[in-house]
Structures are given as C-alpha cells and as structure tokens.
A and B are shown apart, each in its own frame.
Chain A
C-alpha cells in the first residue's frame, strides 16, 4: 500500500479543506476538488569535465477546481492559508452561476493508494550532492575513454520529490509520494571539420541505486558516445515512401504520437480528433495490440493514483487492430458516459487536469526481429528518436530519427543522418505487417507536452515492420 499523507504536511486542517470544498461545491457544480502539492527538485550538471551547476527549487501550492456540465473553473495559490483557499474556491465556482453559500459535502475518508509502485526510501531519493558529482565525473571519463574524438560531454542528473494530496467533493481524501529522477548524457564528437551529437539517458520513479546497478550510468555514457561517433559516418537519409523497421523501446513514441493523443477523451468529446467515431472500428492491422498502463513498478509514466485520486490502470486501446477505448479523466468520462481509466493528470497545482497517457506500448508479437529486417529489400531501420508531434484533428504525426540505418537486401548497412518520418495516425498502424517477440520499454526519458503542460510518460515497442511511411531525408529517388 502507498503511504498515508498527513494533512498537516501542508499546514491545513480537515476543517479548512471541508469548508473550502463546501464553498466551491455550490448547487450547479457537479464536482469539485482541491489538489495540494509540495515539490522539491534538484539538478546537478556537468560540462567540459566540470560539475559546475547545481540548482534547487521548492514549490508548494493548491489548485482548486469546480466542474459544471462542460465548464471548468480553476484557481490556484502559492499560499495555503484559509483565506487563500476561500479566495480560490470563490474563483473556481464562478462558472456555476449559482449563489454562494456553503454546501455540505461528505466528510472525506482519509485513505492511501491500494499499491505502492515506487517504494523509494527517502534516503534513496534525497541523494547527497557529493554522490551526484561523483556520478557525473565518472560519466565524463567513461565517455571520453570510448573514443578520443569525443570532444565534449554534457550530463545532468535531476531528481524530483513530490508529495500530493487530493480532496474531492465525492468524499475522497488521498495522497501520494511521487519520486522521479532522470540522468541524461550528451556527447559531441569531432573529426576534422565534421561534428556530431549523440544522447542517451534513463530514469524513472526509482532510487539512486538504480543508476549504479550493473554500472547503468556508465552504459548511458558509452551509448551517448557510440551514437555521436556513429553519426560521424552517417550518409544522407532517403526521401520518399519506403518500408521502415522500428527497433524496440523508445521508437514506441510512434504509438504516443500516431494514436495515443488521438485517443485522449477530451478531443473525442469535442469531436476534434481524427479518431472521433472510430470506436469499435479497425485502425490497425490484427498483429497490433496496444495498451496504456500506469501500473508498471518504478516506470517514469507510472502512478499509484492519478491527480484526481483515481487508481491508475491498464487500459486496452487497440486490441488486434480494433479501437477499444479512450483514456479518461473524471470530467470527460462523465460527459461521454465511458469508464474512468485513471489518466487525469496535471503538471502541477498551477495547471488543470487533462486526460494524459502514462506508459503506452504495443504488446509483443510472434516474429523474430532478424526475420523482420531480412524481409525488407530497401528501407530504413530506425532505433532511436528525438521528439515527435501530432495534429490531432487531421491525424498527421511526425517523429524524428536520431539513430537510423539503411536496410539493403535484408541487411542493416550504413548509418543515415537524422530524418523526420511523417504519417497519418488512423492509417499508419494498418501498415504494420510484422511484430517482433522482443517488447522493450524505453529507458525512462519521455516528457509529453499538451496545452503547455509537461508530464513524464513512458513508451514501449517490439521490433515492427511498417510497409510504407514517408521518410523526410534529402536524397530523392
């Protein structure tokens, strides 16, 4: 079980909370909640072999929200006095057009999440600065040792320790402790006038030991150096429609962009998604089964509960090619009359709740990864990507390869320069003809942006073959 968070860690009493909830839950308000958050984040970074920057940030506040029909009223405050809570409650209820005055709300049952997916002892989350410094110095040495052409190594280690508490008008009072960390390494390689970059990293809701297990942090350094050196010999990428094989793990960003955002319930309620009205219809080939799963232990996208206090779940999005479900928060589940999936998330107390992904991945298939590559006469094999983006309404999405190779006559040959791949969300997965048995989740580096809010997410993919997609290189023909 998760921890029971005492209300006084925010300096408020149950009476204050009840009174504020009552104040905001006027007659026409369907639902109201208070979201308390306190967060300490720390970052140490290294470049030019010097660990020279350290940053610490402390924030605390409360977000107060009311929903009435499709409307949301929201206010937040950095201060948590009774007066601030009242002021925020009065703003949030403005949308309801109801007279003021307290409404009784059920006395919440103070509870804890049913499971603890990230039981990180505080000592493991609160890493001494000296230990962070040692880690980064060793990374620098390891990356430079990989190849003398590595000219600069930049690395940063970030940790966040967030305590949240949600009090709702439907009688919930539940909190969670959410540790999160990430280690990122970037190398710049230089050979004559040719310069290239390589990045690698990982993390999750885990303790500091994670990075030292099996010298994982040194492996990040080697990988970043390897990619930078590899790219020194990269040739121009092809331009046009060709078959593409995606490697396992982080290339799962394809799913996040191509279908994940389009299945968020808010866009479907508003009917502005290219997936609106496709529930129950075929949107992928029958080798594709895709889930969103917030319940994987220690993963970056996982949560014991979402930011509305709902337990996270494993949600079937696409089953053997058929569209099965959307991911929801309370507002959109209620308005659409569909199940609540525990995907109501917010960046912080300063932002409103939106339906967001957690860890989104395709289940393993039956093909042998080598056979998938062998099946392609001329194509691209892409194993790592930078960011991606999607236009929800017309369904067009992009994601940009940062490590890719040509496939010629069934063999992986030359590395190619980064190129953007573009496709159409509702169509692309119908072109997946082979799915490998090698499902891999990403290393824990993903951050998803929506309406200006960033939240940590995970993705995963087995090796797959896409029969055709447009590759945006410079070499036509």
Chain B
C-alpha cells in the first residue's frame, strides 16, 4: 500500500456529493408515493491494528458507506438500508420500502418532526481531526503501549494485545421538509490488555486500560495507558471470594459509569411508554439525594457523544435529566415524546438501518468534592467494585444482580482483591442510597460518572 494513498488528502467524493444523493433519494420517494421521508447517509474509513507480544497480530482497513431511508405513506411507515448506491438499486429500495410501509397498520402518532422544530444552526462542535495516521505509526503507538505494560511488572508475562483504532466519518441527514445537515467526526482509541500470572498459584488475571478521543493530540500517551493497564491487572492477582453479607459498596469510575448507563436506559422514552422501565411515572419525583445532578449535553465541544443535530434533525441541547435529586427530563425523540405527551428532548439516535430510537449524547453525573481515596477511607467494611459482568438487570422492576470483582475495604484501606462474587439490590433503591460522589469525572465514552458510594447492597460469595 503506497504511502501517498494513506497519508494524503481524503479520497472521499467532494463535499456535497452525499447531500446530493440524499436529495435524489428523497425526490424518488416522493415520486413513489411517499408523503414524508427522511434519509441518512454515512460514510467513513477506519484503520485498526492489533499488536501482541511485540508483533503485529492483526491489521484491518476498510472504507464503508451506507444509506438509510424512512418512508411515510400517510400514517404508515417503513425503514430500509443498503450499501449499494447505484441508482437502479436505490430506485428498487425506494419502491420496496413504499410497498413495505403500505403493508403495516396506521400508527396515529407516526411522522416526521414539525418543520419548525428542525435545527437552524449547525455549530462546529470540533468533532473532527484531520490527522491521518499511517499504518506504521499506529503499529508503533500500539507497540509502545504494550511494551510499557510488559515492562512495568515482572508478573506480566503475557498479553491479549494492544489495539490502536482510528476512524473518520461523515453523516448527512435530509428530510422532505427540506432539512439537510452534515457533520464529520473522527475518533482515535488505544487499548491495552495485559495478562499477569501469580508466581505462587500459577493462576492468571487479565485487565485492560484504554483511552478514546476525537482529537489525536488529546489521547493519553501509550506509556501512560500501558502502565495503567499493568497496574490494574497485577493488583487482581490472588483474588478470592468473600462471605455473603450486606455492606457499603464503592463503584470506581468505570463501574459507576455502567450504573449511570442503567439510569440512562431507564429514562429512555421507548422503555417508558412501553411500561418497561422502573422509572415510569416518576417525572418530577425525587430519585436521589439533593446534591445528585445528571446532565445529557449534546453540544459539549469535542465530546464523544456530541453532534450538532439529532437523528431526526432537531438541534441537540443540554438537558438536565436529574436536577438536585429530582427526575426532570426523559430522553425522547419525536415518536416516544408524542406517546408520553411530551416534546422531543433532541435525543433521537439513528443507526442507519433502523427507525430512530433514543440515545444519550454526553450523559454524566456532576462531580462532588471528595477524592476516590477519601470515599474509600470512609468505609469500615465494604467492597470497592472495579469490574461488573453479566446482564442481570431487570429494567421493568429495577432488580439488579451482577457478577463483580474488586477489592475488599477494611478500615478505610483496600486490603485484598476479590472475585467470583455478585452484588444485588434494586436500582431505584440504589439511586436513593447513593451517599457520596467523587470529584473524579473523566469522559472515556458517552456516559461518564465519578466514583460513587452506595450505602448498602447484598454481596453474595461463600
């Protein structure tokens, strides 16, 4: 593969090409009898390398494109998608989608958002980085990260590898109201997954660390990521089970983020109108202590979940989901909003082949003032959770039971690693039992939380 092809300027079609395609498909839809329609076109490229024990294990490169179409025939609708952009194929897709729409029943609530609600400003949220990394550069960065992990402790003798991924993409959304929007984005991620062997028992532990950013120059150094991965792996050696009991539980940033993700699913308009969320009917009610505030901010500059407009063309915004402990906003698109008698919150998310759903943008819990160490210091006998596995959450009831791993806290100190245990409770109770939130908020994804402590949960072990 030649160097010029890799590091040169974009080989994508000129700007305006995808927008033109979207308009053409909308015109075709109208000809085929669609009363309303929207089209999303996405294209992008990605380069991913995996290093294992110092050599290239895997190298993958691709360019992809996809077009998604949603057609309304009166109050009936259907969606479709294709990767074949030839005009003959698109014409067939439009025709088949119209046929499909006519086969389902009328849904009185269906339809595009009103023309007056569509985004008129499309701010530059700084989501795109022109930096093109060539293959050798990515290989080098991944090698450095893995080498740093392997060098930092002699008990690290093996590795699941280090991955460096970079991707660039464009999204164009157009609808029959005449809206047309476009944005570009990029992401760079580096992850390392070392394996440590216990010199006494011979048993193994694996853990991982990573960073992901929209801008290459803001990514943590390979060495920092590798060392953190090593630290997290080695500290798990010698993990054991503990007895079954009810104790305070401290969630680290990663596991607290997973808990916040559960809250995010519970405030999704689709789960709510179907009666499938434990937070149904709770708008305006107290969920958590009065210092607990959660935002969803679609316009955070450079944010991993930021976008200028949502999956239906509505402007994104900063919503206060939980305000001082009170549930103040659900995450809604036009459809789920109408079902609940509420306006959209600008949270329509659109994967190309599906009709819109609801998703978070940058969903986070505001930090407190305590450090993670201070929180741990405040626990006499309890669990510090650093890993959760499995799917034991019932969103209808909020019942929660998951596999966990972490460290036992005695008299404010982390003592020994624990594994093969579960933690159980009910999400609604857990939210109201949050006692303290840390100051350590860091975004490594669209959902982020500082360290937090729950007063008491059931830990099941021996």
Q: Is the CB of B390 within 8 A of A388?
A: yes
Q: Does A463 contact B (CB under 8 A)?
A: no
B71-107 vs A, Cβ < 8 Å mask (1 yes, 0 no): 0000011111111100001000100110111011101
In the assembled complex, B142 has its CB within 8 A of some CB on chain A: no
**B228 at interface, CB cutoff 8 A:** no
Judge whether A325 is part of the interface by a CB distance below 8 angstroms. no
| B402 contacts the other chain (CB 8 A) | yes
Chain A facing B: main interface SS: strand
Asked whether any CB of chain B lies closer than 8 Å to the CB of A15, the reply is no
The verdict on B158 contacting chain A, using a C-beta distance below 8 Å, is yes
Decide: A44 near B462, CB < 8 A? Known: A60-B83, A78-B65, A396-B419: no
B389 pairs with A398, CB closer than 8 A? yes
Nearest chain B residue, comparing its CB with the CB of A274: B204
Residues of A within 8 A of B458 (CB): 239, 472-476
A471 → B minimal CB distance (Å): 7
Contacts of B76 in A (CB 8 A): 52
The answer to whether the Cβ of A384 comes within 8 Å of any Cβ in the partner chain is: no
Contact B78 A151 (CB under 8 A): no
Select one of A130, A417, A424 contacting B399, CB under 8 A. A417
Residues of B within 8 A of A190 (CB): 275
Chain B residues closer than 8 Å to A213, beta-carbon distance: none
Known: A56-B78, A419-B401. A240 touches B100 (CB 8 A): no
User: When the two chains form the complex, which single residue of A50, A197, A418 contacts B105, counting CB atoms closer than 8 Å?
Assistant: A50
Residue A310 at the B interface, CB < 8 A? no
9-residue interface stretch from A67-75, A165-173, A369-377: A67-75
The closest CB in chain A to the CB of B389 belongs to A389
User: Which of chain B's residues has its CB closest to A93's CB?
Assistant: B1
Specify which chain B residues have a CB less than 8 angstroms from the CB of A233 in the assembled complex: none
Number of interface residues of B (CB under 8 A): 80
State the majority secondary structure of interface residues on B: strand
- Does B221 interact with chain A (Cβ within 8 Å)? no
- Contacts A52-B110, A420-B422; is A90 near B1 (CB within 8 Å)? yes
Q: When chains A and B are docked, how far (Å) is the Cα of A76 from the Cα of B392?
A: 36
Q: Does B246 contact A (CB under 8 A)?
A: yes
Tell whether, in the assembled complex, residue A241 and residue B420 are in contact, meaning their CB atoms are under 8 Å apart.
no
Is B195 in contact with A272, judged by CB distance below 8 angstroms? yes
**From B81, B245, B274, B420, contact of A154 by CB (8 A):** B274
A-B contact pairs, 9 of them (CB 8 A): A54-B101, A71-B55, A95-B56, A154-B274, A197-B397, A386-B392, A472-B403, A472-B421, A476-B460
Q: Which residues of A contact B (CB under 8 A)?
A: 44, 47, 50-61, 70-78, 90-91, 94-95, 129-130, 133, 151-152, 154, 188, 190, 195-197, 237, 239-241, 270-272, 274, 350, 352, 386-394, 396-400, 417-420, 422-424, 470-477
In order of increasing CB-CB distance, the 5 nearest A-B pairs are: A472-B422, A398-B390, A398-B403, A420-B392, A393-B206
18 further interface pairs, Cβ-Cβ under 8 Å (given A56-B93, A71-B55, A129-B104)? A50-B105, A52-B76, A52-B110, A53-B355, A55-B78, A56-B80, A190-B275, A237-B401, A237-B424, A241-B244, A270-B158, A350-B64, A393-B204, A394-B205, A400-B401, A419-B392, A473-B401, A476-B244
